Amino acid sequence: MFSLFQYDFMIRAFIAGGIIAVIAPVIGIFLVVRRFSLIVDTLAHVSLVGIALGLLLKLNPMITALITTLLASIGIEKLRETKKLYEESILALFLSGSLATALIIISLVKGFNANLFSYLFGSITTVTDNDLVIIGVCAIVTLGVIWLLYKEFFFVAFDEEISTTQGLPVGFLNTILICLAAIAISLSMRIVGILLTGALMIIPVITATQLTKSFRSTLFLAIGLSLISVFIGLFVSYYLSLSSGGTIVAVAIILFLLTGIYSRN
């Protein structure tokens, strides 16, 4: 059963998957509490622009996707601060605009290819040593920022108005949180894929909310559910030759359904 660990690419996949499984719900829980989950899908589509640029310019697509999503996340928050547009309108603008831009760039690189598909749906064979270094460094930075600003993120997530009256820099904290979400999305695309990366950030969190009430216990349970989803998904995808991203998300959904049944009994 554990013969898959004789392959270096599977070891890299499990290391990267484990790191991503921790980061994704740590960011996702603040977005769920704020009812801002749709930003994950928006930034995922924005990252497609970065990947297309990376393939066109022959650069590391993970780096170009990371830069693109960070810039977009800052732009989204700046527009949101003006309060001239509704949040849903801003997200729709970036989502449709980034998808259109990505399709134009993809046409310049002569359409879809196997490499692009691995970013769209995830591929356990494509994680390189360089990817692990990038994922590891970004994970340390992300978790470090969350640890330092945990209380501030917590207060802002539950009530922005009260946080503002208490003197917290709400705009700055929102920008930092969205940038962290952009980082998590860019890191997840190798394992889960762009089209499904949002699910790993949100589904374990909403699954955990069915079983626990406190914020902290929900966070730790969500991380545990995320790890289970990733590791079982990687095992199943390897032995059944399935898409790693689709399998991981399918496991996460099954866990959600099972907890839903359990919580009603």
pLDDT over 90 at 172, yes or no = no
* pTM score, whole prediction: 0.84
pLDDT over 70 at 264, yes or no = no
Q: Give the integer Cα–Cα distance in Å for 130 and 155.
A: 37
CA 220 to mean position of chain CA atoms: 17
If you average pLDDT over residues 146-150, what whole number do you get? 91
Average pLDDT, the chain: 83
For the chain, give every domain's residue range. Answer: 3-264
Predicted pLDDT of residue 220: 93
Q: Is 139 within 8 Å of 187 (Cβ atoms)? A: yes
CA 17 to mean position of chain CA atoms: 12
Taking only the tens place, the pLDDT of each residue in 89-134 is 888 888 888 888 888 888 877 655 656 777 777 777 777 788 788 8
* Identity of the amino acid at 41: D
If you average pLDDT over residues 228-241, what whole number do you get? 88
Query: Which two three-digit tokens encode residue 198?
Result: 């949002």
Backbone angles phi, psi at 214, to 5 degrees: -75, 150
Predicted pLDDT of residue 107: 80
Q: Give the integer Cα–Cα distance in Å for 22 and 120.
A: 21
Alpha helices in 189-214 (DSSP H): 197-209
Fold of the CATH domain 3-264: ABC transporter involved in vitamin B12 uptake, BtuC (1.10.3470)
Q: Is 32 within 8 Å of 203 (Cβ atoms)? A: no
pLDDT over 60 at 35, yes or no = yes
Q: Give the integer Cα–Cα distance in Å for 194 and 155.
A: 30
Predicted pLDDT of residue 222: 93
Cα separations in angstroms, 23 against 103, 140, 185: 29, 10, 10
Taking only the tens place, the pLDDT of each residue in 131-144 is 788 888 888 998 99
pLDDT over 60 at 204, yes or no = yes
